[in-house]
Amino acid sequence: MKPLRVLQIVPSISLIYGGPSQMVRGLSAALTRSGAEVTVLTTDSNGDSGQPPLDVPLNTPLSEDGYTVRYFRCAPFRRYKFSLGLLGWLAQNAQHYDIAHIHALFSPVSTAAATVSRWRNLPYLLRPLGTLDRADLTKKRRFKQIYGKLLERPNLAGAAAVHFTSPLEANVSHRFGAKTRDLVIPLGVNPPLDIAKDRAEAVCQQLGIPPDRPRLLYLSRLDPKKGLDLLIPALEQLVREGIEFHLVLAGSNPQDPAYERQVCDRITQSPLARHTTFTGFVTGEAKAALLKSADCFVLPSYYENFGIAVVEAMMAGLPVVISQGVYIWEGIAQSQSGWVCDLSTESLSAVLREALSSARLRQARGRNARQFAMENYGWDAIAQQTLAAYEQILNP
């Protein structure tokens, strides 16, 4: 049999954008290992606030981890990761592929790619990335209502399926009146880069992270939806109580640097300052070192359709402190892979207090977390589920 020819279409795979980029890379590699021929169509976008674009050849097939990537120039609307070149290539070459998997709604290049796929009779899946969450739709509400009804509703109605990453995401998602076929397939995560403990400690020392107190790791984009307005006062309360810990705040926000500065200023002017290390965006060895040396991971998001950073931490053997806004929270609670709070400062303070009270308890839940993540979120198993979904769509 001929291998399945799959297009993955995403506004950017620059790692500066976090989870969505990592997901497309991981899925593409796993699908390739499972026998599919995968091509990723994306742009050279590398940040939205003056950063230079990715230094990559354009409209040239590049081999990456077994699959092919084609980058296209962001033009004419760089801020919105739009690319006429990508859409023109798709229109000319859609007939050479069996199915397209389009990542992101309310992104002009993804919206237009779905429209082009429909015109060219290429079956496609849409993955919303949480953009259909009713909480997310309240941001720029009027604009999104118009955009959704005029542009995304026909894309949703014409999709072979809509790919949600948790049952809760599917339940809370708005479809603008379109009837859709829903698929729930979780995301996968690769095990973290292996790094020796002494090397991890050396990296932490270089970053100025003290070794003599429990380390709480926040490793995600600095964004209002991530619940930092809950985390900061919750930790300030623990400081007032004299509880020992050190917060490692690892993240940035290339799309909203003003908010990033606001968070840093808030902590700097707080008693929490002497309990916090800012690392900015990390990757590679530095990221592996933080995961290796942390005692607990924390992410109290208001809404998170999956939470790749959470699962990465679990893969590294870290117990996690998350909110019920992270839509995989039920599995984490049932497996005792960490602690789950509601969306309040008081609840978050309480679970952090418990997590910091016992190293033995953290270690036990960390072991649970690693086992649960390995069993449920390994990329090869996710790729098999995805290929089965593609085949069912193409051969019902």
| Number of Cβ within a 10 Å radius of residue 319 | 27
pTM score, whole prediction: 0.84
Kindly give, in sequence order, each residue whose CB lies less than 8 Å from that of residue 255, ignoring residues fewer than 6 positions away.
47, 48, 49
Q: Are residues 260 and 342 in the same domain?
A: yes
Lowest mean pLDDT among 8-22, 82-96, 162-176: 8-22
Q: Are residues 88 and 175 in the same domain?
A: yes
Radius of gyration for the alpha carbons in the chain, expressed in angstroms and rounded: 21
CA distances from residue 260 to 223, 249, 257, 263 in whole angstroms, order as listed: 8, 11, 5, 5
pLDDT average, residue stretch 108-133: 96
Q: Are residues 236 and 219 in the same domain?
A: yes
Q: Which CATH number do you get for residue 175? A: 3.40.50.2000
Q: Residue 49 has what pLDDT?
A: 63
For the stretch 153-207, pLDDT in tens is 999 999 999 999 999 999 999 999 999 999 999 999 888 889 999 999 999 999 9
Q: Structural domain of residue 175, as residue ranges?
A: 5-188+378-394
Lowest mean pLDDT among 30-39, 150-159, 252-261: 252-261
For the stretch 281-316, pLDDT in tens is 999 999 999 999 999 999 999 999 899 999 999 999
Q: Are residues 334 and 233 in the same domain?
A: yes
- Three-class SS of residue 339? strand
Q: Are residues 34 and 65 in the same domain?
A: yes
Q: Are residues 387 and 325 in the same domain?
A: no
How many domains does the chain contain in total?
2
pLDDT category, 78, cuts 50, 70, 90?
A: low
Q: Are residues 112 and 203 in the same domain?
A: no
Q: Is the per-residue pLDDT at 81 higher than 90? A: no
For the stretch 334-370, pLDDT in tens is 999 999 999 999 999 999 999 999 999 999 999 999 9
